[in-house]
Structure 1
């Protein structure tokens, strides 16, 4: 049960209400995972097991927090993770989940680390294609090759051209960019084609 003296100091510096909460969490983590390693990451007490972060705790002015690194894999969707970790704001020991529940979650987190399971990757929803400005649509209608290229582009490429055109601050700048965009698209070029072969 190696104890990191920096965590002792962290608990001592915490507000009086938070000290028993942090000490209790620390003891519980050591009870459930006797070979856990203690460290400080991002300025907060962190517990590591099998080469990966297991959980961490923190103290603030009016509350403390405790959370599992792989929250969704450990606790599931029934209790969404917040900025206050897996247990929400903790102002007293009564705010913690039951000991049995915490130990069960801890064992689940340990198993995930031992198996090398990583956190669930959150896939960002794809952005919809940008709306085509009227002047660009009209210019593309007059140039079949440019229109075919624009229509074949993925949304990100269309977005680059649209953004470049609508970000122009003056009408003459916008007109020049519009003409240049149509000429490049007629040649099958993306907006940043100059940098693609670098």
Structure 2
């Protein structure tokens, strides 16, 4: 899901308007109360496999003790592929502003085509939090995906460039008045995602 924007530097405009910057603490994370508690909270990395359709899977390689905010990106990513394979518009609940327009155009660009295979998300991290805005980064490997014609069921002769190499996907997120975090903008780069 490569986005046609330049990666970094990202300026979180919402942070400038927020006034006072408070330290970010994920709502679902328990507070650390010493080194023994912090060590106990650290978990081994875990892989989650999400069936998006009968022939499409997303594999998420979660970091040890993942920040709950990372789900803002993974939920969007999975839902946008569901929109491609099953015409499910739930992905629109996970985006706002420029990202909503871009995501809508991206999904509509698949008319007459679908996708099969396995996509992998790894190296997830929260790179910056400022007020009601944040930047999340992830490496996305879509080399296991194939663009398929809905009419013939066969792979398209010319596969998109995103099926050739992993790329760094950065998303700028924003917490709305309802308390939910949504993707507000996309950035990407071909660098920084070697295994």
Task: Decide: shared fold, TM above 0.5.
Answer: no
Bigger relative CO (Cα 8 Å, ≥ 6 apart): 2
TM interval, short-chain normalised: under 0.3
TM-score of the two chains, using structure 2 as the length reference: 0.23
Greater fraction of residues in helix: 1
Asked which structure has the greater CA Rg, the reply is 1
Greater fraction of residues in strand: 2
